[in-house]
Amino acid sequence: MAKEQAIREYWAKVPGFYERKGFDSADEFLEHGTCFACGFIYRDPPQRAHIYPHVKGGSGDPDNLHMLCYVCHKDSEHLEGDAYWDWFWERDFLSAALSLACRNGNNFGYLLPLAAASRRRPPI
């Protein structure tokens, strides 16, 4: 399976990909730890997530992998095809934060340490 840097380098070369997700530059996109979907940097490193599921024949090549935080990875596990891409393009920090809060009993206080630890702020 491809390493994080190879995955980031592949997607950084796809025209318009990182700009559409709100990254300012390829250098920002190439930073380790940033989730492709929500753009947030969590304490835990991002996970390699298959775009087309491995169990259905999806490869471990960079063109079939995204680096997602654990929240986005969990939320996208059962999505594939157009449903995945629709979710991916709409995903932002707020939707990831709300998902995480719901998973933790709507305890928005749980999000504060994560926000404080983040190096990247969501776009306003």
- Give 33-74 pLDDT, tens digit per residue: 899 999 988 888 999 999 999 899 999 999 999 999 999 999
Q: Are 32 and 38 a contacting pair, CB within 8 Å?
A: no
With cut-offs at 50, 70 and 90, classify the pLDDT of residue 112.
low
State pLDDT tens for residues 8-43. Answer: 999 999 999 999 998 999 998 998 789 999 998 888
Distances (CA, A) of 86 to 27, 43, 79, 91: 25, 27, 10, 9
pTM beyond 0.95 = no
Say yes or no to pLDDT of 99 above 70.
Answer: yes
Backbone angles phi, psi at 68, to 5 degrees: -125, 145
